[in-house]
Structure 1
Amino acid sequence: MTAKIDLVADLGEGFGAYTLGDDEALLDVVSSANVACGFHAGDPSTMDTTVRRCVARGVGIGAHPGFPDLAGFGRRAMDLTADEVRTAVLYQVGALRAFAAAHGTRVAHVAPHGKLGNLVAVRPDYAAAVTDAAAALDPDLIVLAQDGELADAARARGLRVAIVGIADRAYRDDGTLVPRGEPGAVLHDPAEIAGRAVRLVTEGVLETVGGGDLAVACDTVLLHGDTPGSVAVARRVRAELRAAGVTIETLRG
């Protein structure tokens, strides 16, 4: 049984005059944030504001690099070379590290976003590219990943890995996520999501779309800040985890 967990949400995903999700409210609930780095969402001002708010609340800061796809929110496949993935991750995480340094803190982890996050779990070349970028920037960076190629590559390089359980997404029996274009891929009911989160942390399993239990020994529970009703979901998840005796804290404690 896992007695503690890092409760993470994807934040800073507005752009310019446009906002997405209620970051202020979510920052009062989560213990860490995956901060958009400008390629799928976010911009310099949003990144700066998000980091400042995280510091004010003691929320851990993670980089959330994605494909250069603002129009598609980083959720479309792009035919990039492995080296293009490596340099894109270097650029994005490096930018967030600059804002963290300006606010007297550091980026604790890196968590690939969207389609890039899906592909690094199954493509060894992309997994190696992200690992190379993380190791070059800071060998103390924690790599957030699902079980798969990225987790394996990061461990092989001596990087610390934290397995992520995604409470508000549906899983297939093979451990991959149900694609967002398919019905039921994104969950919305706070009670259902909270129940899945508690099972993830206390039992190490979650139910797949096939009806079976999938083993997921997670270190973090992820929620999506852009999902409608995300604040209510996050509050319910936090409350039920606490009621189950789980300590919520950042990966670095």
Structure 2
Amino acid sequence: MTVDLNCDLGEGFPFDAELIPLATSVNVACGLHAGGWREMERAVALALEAGVAIGAHPGYPDREGFGRRELNLPAPDVYALVLYQLGALEGMVRARGGRLAHVKPHGALYNRAARDLEVARAIARAVADFDADLRLYGLSGSALLDAAAERGLRAVSEVFADRGYRADGTLVPRGEPGALVESPLEAAARVQDMLRFGQVRSVQGPWLRVHAQTVCVHGDGQEALRALCGLRAALEDQGVVLRAP
């Protein structure tokens, strides 16, 4: 059994250097929802040194809300917004002799693309127009994966180790009960269910079908390092091969 272990980085939090070697791919913030040119360059350098795959993590231009507030931008603006951020990060990567591997939208933009096919298509079009060889990460069962397939992109189905799921397959909004899975042991057990049985229990109780090609652990929480260490160790103990797509 093989899976990718990805982490969101370059957002100005203190543990990037420790987190990067534990992941197999990283999603680097492109400077609009968090981070900036210094954080981007540092994350890229660390990722290239560690030999992990580098992805762009474009989000809404909402630093005050960390990109987690819905801005309701029209689809043409989303297209330009994503294209702009891909160019910024790709320049950092190419300057150091690397190349981008994938794109994963951030926060509210990611959640909107999971349910809004028009916005999902705008993101997929931006990725395809920029570089059709890039993979596009999206929530398992989401509209973003459908839009990627329409564009002929390689879609990667994502699940979350540290987030709760609602019965409709979407993530529980932050701030609501059950949104965060804070125990590394619980997170590891959930991921093992998703990998072995293709299912995860929702906060309402019913089991959901999921397809786990990549597993995300967020890098912005206080327990991020402990969570990623624990999850990686648990998966390796189960014989899971950790590798970027």
Q: Which TM-score bucket, shorter chain as reference?
A: over 0.9
Deviation at 1:205, TM superposition (A): 1.2
Give runs of aligned pairs for residues 40-189 of structure 1, distance below 5 A. Answer: 40-146=33-139, 147-189=141-183
Q: For the residues of structure 2 that align with 1:149 and 1:237, how far apart are their CA atoms? A: 28
Residue in structure 2 matched with residue 198 of structure 1 by the alignment: 192
Q: For the residues of structure 2 that align with 1:31 and 1:51, how far apart are their CA atoms? A: 14
Deviation at 1:79, TM superposition (A): 2.4
What secondary structure is seen at the aligned counterpart in 2 of 1:162? strand
Residue in structure 2 matched with residue 17 of structure 1 by the alignment: none
Deviation at 1:187, TM superposition (A): 1.3
Q: For the residues of structure 1 that align with 2:229 and 2:202, how far apart are their CA atoms? A: 24
Q: For the residues of structure 2 that align with 1:11 and 1:67, how far apart are their CA atoms? A: 16
Deviation at 1:181, TM superposition (A): 2.1
Asked whether 1:230 is paired with 2:228, we answer no
Q: For the residues of structure 2 that align with 1:203 and 1:233, how far apart are their CA atoms? A: 22
Asked whether 1:32 is paired with 2:25, we answer yes
Q: For the residues of structure 2 that align with 1:21 and 1:4, how far apart are their CA atoms? A: 29
Q: For the residues of structure 1 that align with 2:136 and 2:162, how far apart are their CA atoms? A: 20
What secondary structure is seen at the aligned counterpart in 2 of 1:39? coil
Q: How many pairs does the alignment contain?
A: 244
Give the share of equivalent positions with the same residue, in percent.
44
The AA in structure 1 aligned to 2:120 is A
Residue in structure 1 matched with residue 5 of structure 2 by the alignment: 7
Q: Which deviations, in whole Å up to 9, do the C-alpha atoms of 1:189-240 show, x marking residues without a partner?
A: 1110111112212221111112222111111000000012111110110011
Deviation at 1:247, TM superposition (A): 0.2
Q: For the residues of structure 2 that align with 1:242 and 1:212, how far apart are their CA atoms? A: 28
CA contact 1:21–1:230 (8 Å) conserved in 2: no
Deviation at 1:21, TM superposition (A): 4.1
User: TM-score if structure 1 supplies the norm length?
Assistant: 0.94
Q: For the residues of structure 2 that align with 1:236 and 1:121, how far apart are their CA atoms? A: 28
The AA in structure 2 aligned to 1:110 is V
Gaps (5+ residues) in structure 2?
none
CA contact 1:82–1:126 (8 Å) conserved in 2: yes
What secondary structure is seen at the aligned counterpart in 1 of 2:109? helix
Range with bigger deviation, 69-78 or 197-206: 197-206
CA contact 1:66–1:112 (8 Å) conserved in 2: yes
